[in-house]
Chain A
Amino acid sequence: MNVKIENLTKVFPGMDRKSAGVTAVDDFTLDIPDGKLVCLLGPSGCGKSTLLYMICGLESPTSGKIFFGEDDVTDVPPEKRRVGLVFQNYALYPHLTVKQIIKFPLENVKGDARLSKEEMDKRALEVAKLVQIENLMDRKPGQMSGGQQQRVAIARALVKMPNVLLMDEPLSNLDARLRLQTREEIRRIQRETGITTIFVTHDQEEAMSISDMIIVMKDGLLNQIGKPQEVYDDPDNLFVACFLGTPKVNVFKGFVKGGGLFIGDDKQSERILDVKGVDDREVWIGIRPEGFKVDKDGKLTCDLSGVDVMGRDISVVCRNSNAEEVIRAIISAENEVDRDAKTVKFNVKPHKTYIFDKETEERIRFT
């Protein structure tokens, strides 16, 4: 089922009359297509969980509308929205067994829709098999590992065949190895069930690797929507460019003059790229780590701090007075970099270089 959100806003009132409220979600409009796995990505406190809670109905929006398919569910209470929610800490009832937990939503159903005992058992077992916990049915949450608990939480959310599956940072309580495994699991389960899934995370790598679509949020504002690769390759603003990708994009001060892009200020600078169709102005320049080419005659000179060998690639760590942070360039190991040299010179790849307006930090596209 597709989910449509129109001008959704949530303002939390201040603690008293004097303090202003906090706008957690600011005028959100988006359309999530049926059967896709979508990530809500943003730093902590950007309002992504609030948005998720509004979609499931635990928070009510200040204004705006939410549609599931054609139905306006804005004022529908959570129990009638048919959503499955996987909580960050799973929220598994500690005194019940896995089987009882998975059957819990089914047992809530009253009237004609209620399944018989045998059907409930059958359905619970089917879902348990889907998430591969059918051999743990008599355990209690305390007797299981984090990854197993996670699967139980997903099974409970899926057993009632929800319209939409929502996950609030489902992997953040798992250790690194398990996180990799589990995200593949979530991808597989989502593909097998075909349920529209909205997944909240602050981990861009997680979001990039499993989602069909990424929604990048910051301070309650929608920054960019798109396929992971599109958002990575073509960020709309400086924040999105910085938030996606590890190591992160390298940001330089610079300016555009006469169709050329310069790093630094007027006094000493080299024209590193031709940028057609951009007026003269001051800009931020973002260069992806893979956007550098080592070149003896390169236009961009940096002070070399170190070279990390990572097997296939090498990472050149250096500094430049026009960048506040350390610059990391990832280049193929076939290139040779003199470790003892004081400086290293680069040329940059145009499609890995982005320029942003100095004030608005919006992307300025060039050809």
Chain B
Amino acid sequence: MSKKTLSGVNSVATNVRGWVYLLPALLFLVAFMVYPLIDVFIYSFEEGYNSASQSSFGVGFYNYQYVLRDPYFLQAVKNTFILVIITVPTSTVLSLLISLGLNSIRALKHMFQTIFFLPYVTNTLAVGLVFMILFRKTPYSDGLVNLLIGKFGISPVDFIDGPYWAKMLVLSIYVIWIVMPFKILILTSALASVPEVYYQSARIDGTSSWRMFWRITLPMISPMIVYLVITGFIGAFKAYSDAVAIFGVDLNAAGMNTIVGYVYDMLYGDGGGYPSYASAAAIILFAIVLTITVINLIVSRKATDIT
């Protein structure tokens, strides 16, 4: 009722003007987002598409069948899922702990905030190089990390070119390290925005700090945590440069490829030049991310029911 009267007589003119304002952004979105998306979808169903001749043999599910049977792709899917399952919860919980710490200290608070945010402005490839040097075991040196774990009586492991779980461990630590600054930034500001008066009230009522955290802090910042988990999942599913930074470009050989890495290899890698397979893999990734995000949203909506 009120909406009708609000838009009223000018509704047509207002609409036209609105669309005109949106037009520049829409043009770019359609040209660079919507059209490629549809194109990728079409490629993924065209068998043996050749970008030079712009021709294909036919239409069908062949590309999907190929990709889903490709051991490299299956390895990439496995790697990606393991990476997601390890890094998203770990980085979120660690960030929350650090943010709680940052929020409760007074002295040097800003200095620590800056230190924890520094990785965010550091080049990821440079960080990857440092990680590689720290973890690498060469004939000449065991590397710093091996030196440290050697103190606890653990025999040296080649983390960069050794067993699968050693490599996965380094990759996970690296990804966690890379994504934490942003999460800490978001969570410290979320924590700071919880009104002090809730804690004062809880204190007067004799609430333990443990209970304050679970009953007040966590529910109040839960929307931000949900945001971080969802974007964390999406980000981790799209991981690629992280693996490259540590293991180099030949990820298939290292057994450390990710789904996005597989797509890239199919397009431009040594055995590349297969846009159809790349498209099929990209669409599969899209389906996975979409499903996980929807599940995330449904679960979180139940968990954070603040009316």
Contacts and interface: CB of A to CB of B under 8 A. Distances in A.
A105 B205 contact: yes
Contact of A87 (B201, B216, B306): B201
B208 A87 contact: no
B255 interface: no
Interface string A2-45: 00000000000000000000000000000000000000000000
B307 A109 contact: no
Contacts of B208: 108
Interface string B271-307: 0000000000000000000000000000000000111
Contacts of B109: none
A74 B202 CA distance: 20
A79 B203 contact: yes
Contact of B197 (A78, A81, A84, A89): A89
B161 to A, nearest CB: 50
A160 B195 contact: no
Contact of A79 (B206, B305, B306): B206
B306 A94 contact: yes
Interface string B204-231: 1111100100011001100000000000
Contacts of B206: 79-80, 105, 108-109
A84 B207 CA distance: 13
A91 B195 contact: yes
A56 B206 CA distance: 12
A87 B200 contact: yes
Nearest to B207: A108
A56 B197 contact: no
Nearest to A100: B215
A140 B219 CA distance: 14
Contacts of A173: none
Interface in A175-197: none
A109 B207 CA distance: 8
Interface centre among B197, B203, B205, B216, by most chain A C-beta atoms within 10 angstroms, is B205
Interface in A66-108: 78-81, 83-85, 87, 89, 91, 93-96, 104-105, 107-108
Nearest to A168: B197
Contacts of A96: 215
Given A95-B306, A108-B208, A78 B198 contact: no
B31 to A, nearest CB: 43
Contacts of A87: 197, 200-201
Contact of B307 (A81, A89, A143): A143
A11 B198 CA distance: 25
Contact of A85 (B204, B216, B307): B204
A93 B201 CA distance: 10
A83 B306 contact: no
Contacts of A160: 205
Interface residues of chain B: helix, strand, loop or mixed (majority) = helix
A94 B220 CA distance: 8
B306 A91 contact: no
Interface residues of A, number: 27
Given A91-B195, A142-B307, A143-B307, A104 B205 contact: yes
A91 B207 CA distance: 15
A115 interface: no
Given A95-B219, A95-B220, A78 B204 contact: yes
A316 B206 CA distance: 55
A78 B205 CA distance: 8
Contacts of B205: 79, 104-105, 108, 156, 160
A95 B202 CA distance: 14
Given A80-B206, A95-B219, A108-B205, A140 B200 contact: no
Interface string A49-68: 00000001110000000000
A56 B204 CA distance: 8
A160 B201 CA distance: 13
A91 B220 CA distance: 13
A80 B205 CA distance: 9
A84 B220 CA distance: 23
A108 B204 contact: no
B204 A58 contact: yes
Contact of A58 (B198, B203, B220): B203
A156 B206 CA distance: 13
Contacts of A93: 198, 215-216, 219
Interface centre among B200, B204, B207, B305, by most chain A C-beta atoms within 10 angstroms, is B204
A66 B269 CA distance: 78
Nearest to B208: A108
B203 A78 contact: yes
A83 B201 CA distance: 11
Given A79-B205, A94-B220, 7 more contacts: A91-B200, A93-B198, A93-B219, A94-B306, A95-B305, A104-B215, A108-B205
Interface of B: 195, 197-198, 200-208, 211, 215-216, 219-220, 305-307
